[in-house]
A and B are shown apart, each in its own frame.
Chain A
Amino acid sequence: MSAAWLRPVEPHRRFGVKGPRAAELIKKLGLVVPGQSNCWSPLRHSDRDDSWNVIGRLGLTEFFIEESGDAPGIEALEQLTRDGAPGVYPVLREDIAVVLGGKRAADVLVQVCNVNFAVLPARAVVMTLMIGVSVLVMPQVMDDGPVYRIWCDPSFGSYLKSELQQVVDP
């Protein structure tokens, strides 16, 4: 495992839903609804903890989903919300995504973000600022160790990636 590394995550699909009945709709599709706010979970009960398919609960009634491949879960949600389902609102998520990992990953994070990731509960979702940009961060344990999955508004993508890379490779 190298000191620290930063990798793009493409071309997974991303989607969001919010509203008082969003959790109900997600559950109806057989997807997992994280029980607590600001927590994430594998998208399906059959998915492992190191799955790329995840769902994050942002606050109480908003959800963020990333799914690889044909993304059938997202496809179904998009169709159901396209014409407006009562109490459920689709959220266009065109985020760019990167994964930060390696032994020095935590050291990189403390240079760019003021959240103490070391004391977060398992499967925490953090919405915070990273070098001035709003980001969504999910710490996760993958095959090659602990990693931090990071998403942000695509218009900041070029900036975030290049500046993070400079901190990763000083």
Chain B
Amino acid sequence: MMYRLNPVAGEWIDRSSTLEFEFEGHTFRGFAGDTITTALAAAGEMTLGRSFKYHRPRGVFSLANHDANNLFQVGEVPNVRGDVTALAAGMQVAAVNTIGGLKGDRARFIEWLAPFLPVGFYYKAFHGRHFPRWERRIRAISGLGRIHAGAARQRTPKRYAFCDVLVIGAGLTGLATALSAADAGARVLLVDENACAGGGGAWTGAAAGEIEALVNRVSAAKNIELLTATYAAGVYADQWVALVEPTRMTKVRAGAVVFATGVIEQPTVFRNNDLPGVLLGSAAQRLLRRYAIAPGKRVIVLTANREGYELVRELRVHDVEVAAILDLRAGFGGDAYGLGDLRCVPGVVPEAAIAGSNGAVRALRVRLPGNGTRAGSIETIACDAVLMSVGFAPASGLLSQAGVVMQYDMALQQHLPAKLPPGVFAAGRVNGIYDSAARRQDGRDAGAEAAAYARGGHVGTRSVRAESLRQVSHPYPVFPHPAAREFVDLDEDIQVKDLLAGAQEGFDSTELLKRFSTLGMGPSQGKLSNLHGARILMRSRDATLADTALTTQRPFLHPVPLKHLAGMGFHPHRLSAVHDCHVALDANFMTVGGWQRPEYYKTSGQARAECIAAEVRAVRESAGLIDVSTLGKIEISGPDAGAFLDRIYTGSFSDLRVGMTRYGLMLDEGGIVRDDGVIARLGEQRYYFTTTTGGAANVYRELLLWNARWRMDCAFVNVTGHRAAFNLAGPASLTLLRTLTDIDVSESAFPFLGVREGRVAGVEARVLRAGFVSSLGFEIHVAYRNAGQVWDALMSAGVRAFGVEAQRVLRLEKGHAIVAQDTDNLTNPFEAGMGWAVRMQKPFFVGQRSLRIHVRRGARQKLVGFELPPDQAVGAAIRESNLLIHEGDIAGRVTSVAHSPTLGRTIGLAMASPNLATPGTTLVIRSSDGRPLSARVVRTPFLEAG
């Protein structure tokens, strides 16, 4: 392990546990606690990936979950973030986005085509007749990891958590915040994205052993829960925060949230600043302190702040040779930091990093400070690493999601929280506070205030003490080069010239430029590039960052694995009380409105269509039984029950006789058909009605809402799942039912549309005489627990079960429309041929006023019946939603179609232009295979008897 150092105090690796893994076909070893990236870095692997666009070699850059060029394919899992993913024994790791492997990537020729790939290339190329050609070519060579479609489904748990104070970030500030809030009595949840707590405290001013002591106190506190390797991915209203852990997602509801998220170090922009070996100073600190890895053998520190000199001190502790400290600021030198024995050059301008034969940096060319009016000389300094420490951006993505307004402070050259919503607090470096003592105090204050807020007490408006602030960021560490390749965004290979060109083409706001150039749209979401992009843009406009806002930060902060979002994949589904009976009858199930329903019952040796046809014949010739438990079933009782139904439905129900039913049609306030069903009057103040399958919950909610407004004296009970229902249909149904019930089912005693309560198969039942699928039929409604008994009794009487497909054919033969299949969100009842169910003369019903307008305007479409000639092949390729074509234009669509075994031809319903609705008119239907087929408009029902 070439770059691994001797043990370092506080290192995160376990040297007693060696892990072997493969990278690009070669065997490597790392330690437990390493990430994929650090294990490779320790082995001296400089090039870890290829850039997205030009396929340039890339290495470690931030080591902070922002390294978009350190994405790996690990076994079947694509795009694994190597800089934060823990190494595991036996991992099969490969670089993504290469053709032929990392070293010999054949796609690197794309960089030669750079002159032909200007900024906004997609927008310029992806239109017109060239689009398909470009799309094919780009799809063939672009993309990151490979998705294995056959990979096993992973069920990832989600959970909810609750706390008084959520602290995001467990660095020096976050630890102080959590302890302070806990001391105030709050239940605290402390989360950090790193594998261990402490953040950058070890190299940003914490005293020796301080971080360890704080972590120990946190661990000992009973009211603090610490989650490491966990990042807050999104912040939502009312302090809901999505936390992503390695194996699950947690949705936290917090009383108050403190963002101790720190800062993100920003790169220096100069030619070839993307070469392997050019990395951020904080990345070098992470390599040194957490993983005991030297960032190079001979390094250059390019700096503009005190942090750069602190880095040099650390490098020297580990005997890493520092070739030079190059300060971008004039007048700064090593003496001021006690490093006078090193070569320190102030006022340097970086010209270019120079690549060696392995593609990694081998030298840095700089322009030394001039002398008065004379430009400085150029010098090339040999090195194998360039460490950049020139400034920071606040890690404010989550703050912005929480509604915090960030404002640029010109004195600090940093965005600071300007206004915090209630319950939201910020502390530490994100507030521009860099000195450790001030950060501790800021954290303690924030923790105490957050705890007070969570208890419903003091709502403080925190202000940052000005004396705590110091400038650590260079105002413009961007050094354009005539030959370009000064990368602003390493995710998307965006250079300074690209942004300037974009601005010149008129995309002169941060939001526009982002979309035109794709700046900040890669996996790191602009965390290392948005600030510089905005700086370049504003300078091109002779303006400053104080004059603009950065682009909007939306969830998720980091890309979240899809398995976390998919969770356990809960898909609620409902089973009827006699589901096991359907299984025993070998039903083929389908999902309808969340229910598992028999589509048809399989018969050995018969195809699906034959099974369905046989079920249809059984109903027409004898009797069939279908489970209609899925219908919504609602009871309404009380003195105003009838009057209420009069308002809800288009028909009249207060005048319905006890013991009778009536069809009910429900509209929305726009006069559009929403639901239908049968309303039965069981008593003077007692009604029972059905809704469509899947419509019950919505209808019930609507009823409650309307009555909250009307305050009528009635009560509703939704018994959809608590009652089963079966439709016994066919000419033999009456005879069969008579043998099983104490209800007088004779024609005179139980007329069509009647309802009776009595016993069927020995249990209490409500029986509705209905005619949805046949002229003679009975709906039998019983309590859930009794359903099996009734079903078995009916089946034992010789009835044949039929499924949803047969029901669709049977009702189509009878010409009955199905709401939401034969109607849509624009259909009023007159267009659907349901005008007979509307009593416009009533004083009021929901949707009446809009319906009057529809009537005045006239129908825009009509639901018509059609049939194909009898000689037309069975199953002629007509499907629901096929279009009607008239004089070259779309003139409607097929809403239902089926082959009727009873009639021996294909019949259907179509929503057609009114001028095509006259019986006898020929419709031209464009079939699924594109052929025009002729059909004839006919009157419905297609079948009167049966």
A-side residues, CB < 8 A to B, are 16, 18-19, 84, 89, 91-95, 107, 110-111, 113-114, 116, 118-119, 131-133, 153-159, 163, 166-167, 170
The stretch of B112-120, B513-521, B572-580 in contact with A is B572-580
Which B residues between 868 and 883 are near A, CB-CB below 8 angstroms?
none
Residue B784 lies at the interface, judged by CB distance under 8 Å to chain A: yes
Listed from nearest, the 5 A-B pairs whose CB atoms lie closest are A153-B721, A94-B784, A132-B572, A155-B721, A155-B574
The stretch of B153-161, B260-268, B333-341, B494-502 in contact with A is B153-161
Residues of B within 8 A of A114 (CB): 160, 251, 253
Q: Are A84 and B160 in contact (CB under 8 A)?
A: no
Q: Are B568 and A84 in contact (CB under 8 A)?
A: no
Residues of A within 8 A of B717 (CB): 16, 18, 89, 91-92
A89-B715, A155-B574 known; A94+B783 contact, CB < 8 A: yes
User: Among the listed B571, B629, B685, which residue makes an inter-chain contact with A155, where contact means beta carbons less than 8 Å apart?
Assistant: B629
Q: Are B683 and A167 in contact (CB under 8 A)?
A: no
Which B residues between 843 and 877 are near A, CB-CB below 8 angstroms?
none
Q: Are B715 and A131 in contact (CB under 8 A)?
A: no
Report the Cα distance A157→B576, complex, angstroms. 10
Residues of A within 8 A of B253 (CB): 114, 116
Residue B638 lies at the interface, judged by CB distance under 8 Å to chain A: yes
12 further contact pairs, Cβ within 8 A, besides A92-B723, A132-B570, A159-B573: A18-B717, A84-B686, A92-B783, A111-B160, A114-B251, A116-B253, A132-B571, A153-B721, A154-B722, A155-B720, A155-B784, A156-B721
How close is A27's CB to chain B, nearest CB, in angstroms? Answer: 19
A89-B638, A94-B722, A154-B721 known; A18+B715 contact, CB < 8 A: yes
A-B pairs with beta carbons under 8 A, tally: 87
5 contacts between A and B (CB under 8 A): A94-B783, A119-B162, A153-B721, A155-B721, A159-B574
How close is B136's CB to chain A, nearest CB, in angstroms? Answer: 41
Q: Which residue of A lies closest to B163 (CB)?
A: A116
Please give the number of chain B residues whose Cβ is less than 8 angstroms from any Cβ of chain A in the complex: 36
Residues of A within 8 A of B573 (CB): 159
Q: Are B784 and A154 in contact (CB under 8 A)?
A: yes
Residues of B within 8 A of A133 (CB): 572
Which B residues between 531 and 577 are near A, CB-CB below 8 angstroms?
568, 570-577
User: Among the listed B251, B568, B572, B715, which residue makes an inter-chain contact with A156, where contact means beta carbons less than 8 Å apart?
Assistant: B572
Report the Cα distance A170→B783, complex, angstroms. 35
A114-B160, A154-B577 known; A93+B722 contact, CB < 8 A: yes
A94-B784, A170-B157 known; A159+B575 contact, CB < 8 A: yes
How close is B778's CB to chain A, nearest CB, in angstroms? Answer: 21
Which B residues between 611 and 646 are near A, CB-CB below 8 angstroms?
629, 635, 637-638
Q: Are B572 and A131 in contact (CB under 8 A)?
A: yes
Q: Which residue of B lies closest to A87 (CB)?
A: B638
Report the Cα distance A119→B784, complex, angstroms. 35
Report the Cα distance A91→B783, complex, angstroms. 12
How close is B174's CB to chain A, nearest CB, in angstroms? Answer: 24
Q: Are A89 and B783 in contact (CB under 8 A)?
A: no
Residue B820 lies at the interface, judged by CB distance under 8 Å to chain A: no
How close is A34's CB to chain B, nearest CB, in angstroms? Answer: 19
Q: Are B785 and A94 in contact (CB under 8 A)?
A: yes
Report the Cα distance A159→B572, complex, angstroms. 7
Residue B752 lies at the interface, judged by CB distance under 8 Å to chain A: no
Residues of A within 8 A of B161 (CB): 110
Among B572, B577, B629, find the residue whose CB has the most chain A CB atoms closer than 10 A.
Answer: B572
Q: Are A163 and B719 in contact (CB under 8 A)?
A: no
Q: Are B595 and A155 in contact (CB under 8 A)?
A: yes
Residues of A within 8 A of B576 (CB): 155
How close is A103's CB to chain B, nearest CB, in angstroms? Answer: 16
Report the Cα distance A50→B703, complex, angstroms. 37
Q: Are B721 and A163 in contact (CB under 8 A)?
A: no
How close is B604's CB to chain A, nearest CB, in angstroms? Answer: 27
Residues of B within 8 A of A111 (CB): 157-160, 568
Q: Which residue of A lies closest to B573 (CB)?
A: A159
Q: Are A113 and B160 in contact (CB under 8 A)?
A: yes
A114-B251, A155-B629, A170-B157 known; A92+B572 contact, CB < 8 A: no
Which B residues between 707 and 729 are near A, CB-CB below 8 angstroms?
715, 717, 719-723
Which B residues between 700 and 755 are near A, CB-CB below 8 angstroms?
715, 717, 719-723
Report the Cα distance A1→B783, complex, angstroms. 37
How close is A109's CB to chain B, nearest CB, in angstroms? Answer: 9
Report the Cα distance A156→B783, complex, angstroms. 15
Residues of B within 8 A of A19 (CB): 638, 715
Q: Are B160 and A110 in contact (CB under 8 A)?
A: yes
A132-B570, A159-B574, A167-B157 known; A116+B162 contact, CB < 8 A: yes
Residues of A within 8 A of B638 (CB): 19, 89
Residues of B within 8 A of A132 (CB): 570-572
Q: Are A163 and B570 in contact (CB under 8 A)?
A: yes
Residues of A within 8 A of B629 (CB): 155
Residues of A within 8 A of B572 (CB): 131-133, 156, 159
Q: Which residue of A lies closest to B697 (CB)?
A: A134
Q: Are A84 and B157 in contact (CB under 8 A)?
A: no
Which B residues between 564 and 608 are near A, CB-CB below 8 angstroms?
568, 570-577, 579, 595
How close is A41's CB to chain B, nearest CB, in angstroms? Answer: 22
How close is B795's CB to chain A, nearest CB, in angstroms? Answer: 21
User: Among the listed A84, A119, A154, A158, which residue makes an inter-chain contact with B637, where contact means beta carbons less than 8 Å apart?
Assistant: A84
Residues of A within 8 A of B571 (CB): 132
Report the Cα distance A92→B159, complex, angstroms. 33
Q: Are A94 and B721 in contact (CB under 8 A)?
A: yes
How close is B677's CB to chain A, nearest CB, in angstroms? Answer: 18
How close is B483's CB to chain A, nearest CB, in angstroms? Answer: 56
Q: Are B159 and A110 in contact (CB under 8 A)?
A: yes
Residues of A within 8 A of B722 (CB): 92-95, 153-154
Among A91, A131, A155, A163, find the residue whose CB has the most chain B CB atoms closer than 10 A.
Answer: A155
Residues of B within 8 A of A107 (CB): 159
Residues of A within 8 A of B685 (CB): 84
